[in-house]
Structure 1
Amino acid sequence: MTLAARSGPLHGIKVLDLTSMLAGPFTTMLLADLDADVVKVEPAVGDRTRGMGPFRESDDRSQALGGYFQSVNRGKRSIVLDLKTEAGVSAFLDLVRVADAVIENFSAGVMDRLGLGYEVLHQVNPRLVYAALRGFGDARTGRSPYEAWPAFDVVAQAMGGFAGITGPLDGTPHKAGPGIGDIFPGTLLALGVVTAVRHAERTGEGQFVDVAMYDAVLALCERIVYQHSYLGVTPGPMGNGHPLLAPFDIMQTTDGWIAVAAPSNHHWRTLTEAMGRPELADDPRFADNTSRVANADEVRKVLEEWLSVRTTADVIAVLGGRVPIGPVNNAADIFADEHVRRREMLVEVEQPGSDEPVTIAGSPIKFSSTPARVHGRGPKLGEDAVESILSEWTP
């Protein structure tokens, strides 16, 4: 497959991608957006998400790429190798010899049983970065009692503490809408890979890098750790509020919902003046953030009363740019937002078998000189040849 011209910050970095589903492919998607040459190594049946969709009614299913696959596999190439055969292993090792990184998210022990674990690949290429993403990590960096457990996003959100502090005030745990139990670990692993490749460039020394989904979600929920340590509390769901800041909430207008965050005294005073209640800025119950947190229910009632008779647009007209606020956008709102267009956060890519492109989320990492960007659609299964990649990668 021919990809867009490359000029990004990871230009020249060669990555073998053995990942599937969301967490691992999100890792390698970030690297591809940053201009690494990412080659998906797939079995004959391909990544499991290839058939998941969604597809448009007009799409030719024999050629089209589903939204799930396109979104996190854009800008990559694809080869098919059977790593259970001698020929497949031989071709893979030829690529490993000239690669900078191998990334996989198999269950613990799968690559070792194939005879392709870190220790073997390190012998083949001592400067290779071997990166793994699993639910509960890898024994090489720390044993877990759950090491052999399979995991998905919702499990990581539950065990890492996220679901336990998310949801209505009645204590019912909720998972996040997006797959943060996959996406945040994938983001951290991309950082780990870049760091380890940098080290290998300086020293010639490769290494094993891994991120556990559980660990990543726990790191994301760092607040509950210090709350438990400092205060001896076990935080629960906070609704849309915050235990340490007020006002800091999502509240209803006459035609929608809006986020309002004014924990600083300056923003609180600005908010009270806009509400026509300037006396509240000096009221002892609300004079500083600590007082407002202690009286959070009263703060919420004051805001609810003011917002309940105004449209979201009216609130934005009064407070936009003065107090941290923002509407609760749905997908249609995002597609219509000028910010998203100007920041190139919606990107059209080719849909095989169709003259009509599809839209996926763009790269949020921006550079002034070496831009990150979507370099093209996802690859068709086995669209590229081992021989051509080897010829490109071999010095």
Structure 2
Amino acid sequence: MTQGPLDGIRVLDLSRVLAGPWATQTLADLGAEVIKIERPGAGDDTRLWGPPFTTKTDGSRGDAAYFLCANRGKKSVELDIATPGGAEAVRRLAATCDVVVENFKTGGLAKYGLDWPSLEKLNPRLVYCSITGFGQDGPDAHRAGYDYMIQAMGGLMSITGQPDGAPGAEPMKVGVAVVDLFTGLYASNAILAALMHARATGEGQHVDVALFDVQAAMLANQATNWFVSGTAPTRMGNAHPNLAPYQPFPCTDGMVVIAVGNDGQFRALCGALGAPGMGSDPRFATNAARIEHRAVLTAELSALTAGHGMKALMALLEAAGVPCGPVNTVDQVFAEPQAVHRGLEVEQTRADLSAPVRTVASPIRLSKTPVRYDRPPPALGADTDEVLGELSPAAGTAPAR
């Protein structure tokens, strides 16, 4: 079997819920051995975050679907780190690992001897990644952080939702926990950078990733819009703050997003819709003019698209070179021919479940060291004896849990 790029890298995963597990699943997909430490009898909180739940072969309730999305490729070990034996087992595991990932409250692992200063002494090459709401320092470092509250506090909800005065106007969260997901991706990138440093120098380091910092970074052009203009962005519904037209438009059987990125595409759009004069209209001829006259532009384009079916409209626009796409439901996403061709659905079997586990494939495509899907999201404690048996002073005798 082709080796993954992270073959030989061992990761101790002390994280739970989403941001940390998302980071470690990325590392597992890339070939790392990931050992997930879970509370005996309970496991990761998300095992219970349902419905929907899987069904076991005996007909009883299995893991929640939420758990499955972020824990592919891992080994599950039940350990109570609050006990001396459990904490000691984790320390011994950390001494054999290249990476530790944790998302306890700042300073929360020190009392167990599992914080960065403690484990660095045992393993100077260790890359130790802490994921928290607000980071390891500052006035809010002690606070817990959850995706929803960080979307609010970090400004994302202030620019998401219908504008004031429109029906249903209020700050709106995004439909998935994007701060957690972005944090997981930033964390995995930082871990890989720190591993390169450790490989070159023999020195590990502490990686400090905070949801609040990540959310600020995610503001991207909206933050720089404020830096440059001095005016805080506001909610604009589905409109784009810097481009027009760049939003969904109505059809007879749904909506199609039209994403015009330059003036040439706009003229092509107008021609495809049978209104070439709009392309030279001074109100719409440039992007800045279209932003200024956004309301009338949107109304006129909506009137032109409303009589078309989605497929017919997209065929017209694609033929004209105008970027567009349907507003799909989740089930429609995985029925798209492109999704089928790219293999965006991964199916794995787990002995205790009555049906295969289906998860979304990694979007990472590597020509020489492709992503592998060797393990399904694990049953709670499935690998406890195997992993802890390696630490035993005598064969077959596992450390205290």
Contact 1:27 1:187 in 2 (8 A): yes
Runs (4+) off by over 6 Å: none
Q: CA, structure 1 residues 30+159, in 2 after alignment: closer, same or farther (shift >3 Å)? A: same
Q: 1:335-368 CA distances to partner (integer Å, 9 max, x unpaired)?
A: 2111111112111122443442132111011111
Instruction: Give the distance between the partners of 1:355 and 1:56, measured in 2 at CA.
Output: 8
Q: CA, structure 1 residues 180+14, in 2 after alignment: closer, same or farther (shift >3 Å)? A: same
Unaligned runs of at least 5 residues, structure 1 = none
Q: CA deviation at 1:317?
A: 1.3
Q: CA, structure 1 residues 380+57, in 2 after alignment: closer, same or farther (shift >3 Å)? A: closer
- The letter for the 1-side match of 2:34 is V
Equivalent residue of 1:110, what SS? coil
Q: CA, structure 1 residues 58+302, in 2 after alignment: closer, same or farther (shift >3 Å)? A: farther
Equivalent residue of 2:53, what SS? coil
Contact 2:35 2:75 in 1 (8 A): yes
Q: Give the structure 1 partner of residue 334 of structure 2.
A: 335
Q: CA deviation at 1:308?
A: 1.0
1:283 paired residue among 260, 281, 290: 281
- The letter for the 2-side match of 1:256 is G
The worse-fitting range, judged by mean Cα deviation, of 125-134 and 376-385 is 376-385
Q: Give the structure 2 partner of residue 16 of structure 1.
A: 12
- The letter for the 2-side match of 1:47 is D
Equivalent residue of 2:363, what SS? coil
Instruction: Give the distance between the partners of 1:250 and 1:118, measured in 2 at CA.
Output: 48
Q: Give the structure 1 partner of residue 74 of structure 2.
A: 76
Which runs of structure 2 are paired with 1:1-395 in the superposition (5 Å)?
7-44=3-40, 45-53=42-50, 54-56=52-54, 60=58, 62=60, 64-139=62-137, 143=138, 145-170=139-164, 172-320=170-318, 322-384=321-383, 385-388=386-389
- The letter for the 2-side match of 1:160 is G
Q: CA, structure 1 residues 305+67, in 2 after alignment: closer, same or farther (shift >3 Å)? A: same
Unaligned runs of at least 5 residues, structure 2 = 393-401
Contact 2:10 2:97 in 1 (8 A): yes
Instruction: Give the distance between the partners of 1:167 and 1:374, measured in 2 at CA.
Output: 37
Instruction: Give the distance between the partners of 2:202 and 2:318, measured in 1 at CA.
Output: 52
Q: CA deviation at 1:57?
A: 6.2
- The letter for the 2-side match of 1:327 is P
TM-score (structure 1 length as normaliser) = 0.92
Q: What is the identity percentage for the equivalent residue pairs of Structure 1 and Structure 2?
A: 39
Q: CA, structure 1 residues 59+281, in 2 after alignment: closer, same or farther (shift >3 Å)? A: farther
Q: CA deviation at 1:80?
A: 1.6
Contact 2:55 2:61 in 1 (8 A): no
Q: CA deviation at 1:168?
A: 0.5
Q: CA deviation at 1:157?
A: 0.7
Instruction: Give the distance between the partners of 2:249 and 2:171, measured in 1 at CA.
Output: 20
Instruction: Give the distance between the partners of 2:337 and 2:203, measured in 1 at CA.
Output: 46
Instruction: Give the distance between the partners of 1:183 and 1:253, measured in 2 at CA.
Output: 32
- Aligned-residue Cα RMSD (Å) equals 1.8
The worse-fitting range, judged by mean Cα deviation, of 235-244 and 367-376 is 367-376
Equivalent residue of 1:65, what SS? strand
Q: CA, structure 1 residues 148+370, in 2 after alignment: closer, same or farther (shift >3 Å)? A: same
Q: CA deviation at 1:380?
A: 1.4
Q: Give the structure 1 partner of residue 397 of structure 2.
A: none
